[in-house]
Chains A and B, each alone.
Chain A
Amino acid sequence: MTRRSNLLFLLPAFAALLGAILIFPGAIEAQQAPVHSAPQAKDGGVVIMLCDGKTSIEVKGLKPGQPMSHEQALAVTRDLMTTWQRAHPQQKWETAQASPQSAAASAPEASAPASSSSPGAALGLENAPKAVAGAQQGDTYASFTNRDYMIWKTETNKFVADGKRIFHSDKELGGTIGVSCDMCHPDASNTHPQTYPKYQVQLQRVALLRDMIDWCIENPVKGKALDPNDPKLRALEAYILAQRKGTPLNFGQH
């Protein structure tokens, strides 16, 4: 599986986990959410169930009510989805959840409300789009809900917010003379990310935006250049680009 499809795969899994957490205690009667009866824990841990109402795994060592770390939660979603995938080798999660027939074909006993409408409805999102019928079924983006879009937006904005914070902090930039990016570039102005890649005359080579960020960190900021994959550099890039929404790209412009 490619890296990209892995990522795409993980997103519904994360959403599904949230659903599972909400549903597991069986406390949301008011919304008539589907009640899934999760099996008893066998090893003293907590059983987490996928929102298909069938697939479950036990997280050993986790006490009921005890929160998981972000990493732990991600690992659990991965395990759940892997388990589901193993049981449904020829299927895509999105298709199976969007189409009762398809889901029923491989799992005849699945008649929970979650699979008879969209997963969004199961989560109580009134505006959740109905599963798209016809040719678009199975399309990566066909069966996502408002909740999914919300999560993507939140995650993206968080990435940009991280960049903004670093952009404004000489300490996080690793600066040594009190200088931060915003001092010369309020609102990331005059960074013109839309002009890269371009031949940077002063560097005498073709540069990307990140090369210029690193140049600034090394020189006016007097810090150490960041590795291209450093989360800080990626976040800075995200913040700068986000400030230029709607600006036409014009690479090579001087």
Chain B
Amino acid sequence: MAAKHKSVETKFMEEREQVMRAVRRLDRRSFLKVAGAAAGAVLARGLLPPHTFQLVTLADAAVEKGTGANGMAGQPPFTFAYISDTHLYERTLNQRFVRGATKAVEDVNALDPQPDFVFFGGDLAQLGRRAELELGRDILKEVKAPVKMMVGEHDWFFDLGESWQDLFGPPKYSFDWKGVHVVVLMSVHEKDFWTARKMTPAERMQTVAGLDNGIQSRFEVGDDDRKWLADDLAKVPHSTPLVVFSHSPLYKYYHDWNFWTDDAEQVQAILQPYDKVTVIHGHTHQMLFNRINNISFYGMLSTAWPWPYAPTGLPTLTVQMNRADPFDQFDGCGDGRFDVRADGLVDKIYNLWDRNPVGVKADYLVSMGKSDRPTVPQFASY
């Protein structure tokens, strides 16, 4: 009788006990499977699963792919997380964006296992003031994993990078990590539009901070930094997987909002000889992905606010994120994770706050959308 008429609570407790028992005697990989199964059971019942369970399910899939049943393994797979576009004002002025930034820090600190590093995608500050950057630095100090920084235009155009470089070092650099060559670019240079207009530093910053004013120049990596990139890559074999970070997308999405890098094609040409190239950018505040020739592009989410999809130019491979609810501060915002697989390709998990996370497999982009299509959301944007 008892077996026939178990209450919901009893069933839940039994399943939970089963999971916990299994977890105690399992290694990491099997743990992921068990956790995934448990999350699946919760999903099947139509309950909203806790975030961590969902994330683990996706991580499981990614790890499976990376190590590969066929034994293909170029280098050890690894994971890094990101936080991007926090747009902090000074603490006394605005708590809203501080809440977003600290929420992301809690997220990445809760990742288990911990990522190898946490990448910050630029636009730490809103108006480039030193106090804003210092607030950001203090918030990011709470991150347990090592933090790698990238600059955004909101950090730069008040004092042309003086404070940012003072706090965080050079805006472009590269390093090798577990067989992958990682490059961080400074892609938000702009040609001087301010001197002729006799703008103050504050006016210059305010102009760059607006998307739709049409006065500022378009972003560019610029001659010097492209040469630096070419020099940096000169010693890197073409078979080495590349992960390149840039604040602006390294392609031309929408000119009028500066979702744009003016010399994108020239940068792409420098990356062209490499077999596996992943470009990861901030700035666009939305789920955004693209593939151009040999390069896969992923846009990062913002913790401050989501941006609407631009009226034209959206890459056809992009699956739009669900329409955000303005009544929920965190909707459409979030952070995320990248899983660098053994074959050097990169899977991406968009951790959309208050939504189910969305995983985008490298294979989806490499196959030009023929396989592994992510779930299409219910509400398209207007």
> Smallest distance from the beta carbon of A177 to chain B beta carbons, Å?
4
A182-B211 contact given A177-B89, A216-B326, CB 8 Å threshold: yes
Closest to B304 in A: A183
Contact with A along B359-382 (1 / 0, CB 8 A): 000000000000000000000011
> Smallest distance from the beta carbon of A109 to chain B beta carbons, Å?
56
Q: Does A168 contact B (CB under 8 A)?
A: yes
Instruction: Give the size of the chain A interface in residues (CB under 8 angstroms).
Output: 20
Q: Determine if A182 and B210 form an interchain contact, defined as CB atoms under 8 angstroms apart.
A: yes
Give Cα A180–Cα B326 distance, bound, in whole angstroms.
Answer: 14
Q: Determine if B93 and A189 form an interchain contact, defined as CB atoms under 8 angstroms apart.
A: no
Segment of B45-53, B65-73, B305-313, B314-322 in the binding face: B305-313
Give Cα A219–Cα B127 distance, bound, in whole angstroms.
Answer: 21
Binding site for A on B (CB under 8 A): 89, 93-96, 126-127, 210-213, 256-257, 305-308, 310-311, 325-327, 329, 381-382
Binding site for B on A (CB under 8 A): 168, 177-179, 182-187, 189-190, 192, 195, 202, 215-216, 219-220, 222
**Dominant secondary structure at the A interface:** loop
> Smallest distance from the beta carbon of B221 to chain A beta carbons, Å?
23
Q: Determine if B212 and A177 form an interchain contact, defined as CB atoms under 8 angstroms apart.
A: no
> Smallest distance from the beta carbon of A250 to chain B beta carbons, Å?
10
CB-contact partner of B96 in A179, A186, A190, A215, under 8 A: A179
A-B contact count (CB 8 A): 53
Closest to A184 in B: B305
Closest to A189 in B: B308
Cβ–Cβ < 8 Å partners of A219 in chain B: 326-327
> Smallest distance from the beta carbon of B331 to chain A beta carbons, Å?
11
Cβ–Cβ < 8 Å partners of B213 in chain A: 168
Closest to A183 in B: B305
CB-contact partner of A179 in B94, B325, B381, under 8 A: B94
A-B interface, 4 closest residue pairs, ranked by CB to CB distance from nearest: A190-B308, A186-B211, A186-B212, A177-B94
Give Cα A187–Cα B309 distance, bound, in whole angstroms.
Answer: 12
A-B contact pairs, 30 of them (CB 8 A): A177-B93, A177-B94, A177-B95, A178-B89, A178-B93, A178-B126, A178-B127, A179-B94, A179-B96, A183-B305, A184-B305, A184-B308, A185-B308, A186-B210, A186-B211, A186-B212, A186-B308, A187-B211, A187-B256, A187-B257, A189-B308, A190-B382, A202-B325, A215-B326, A216-B326, A219-B326, A219-B327, A220-B96, A220-B329, A222-B96
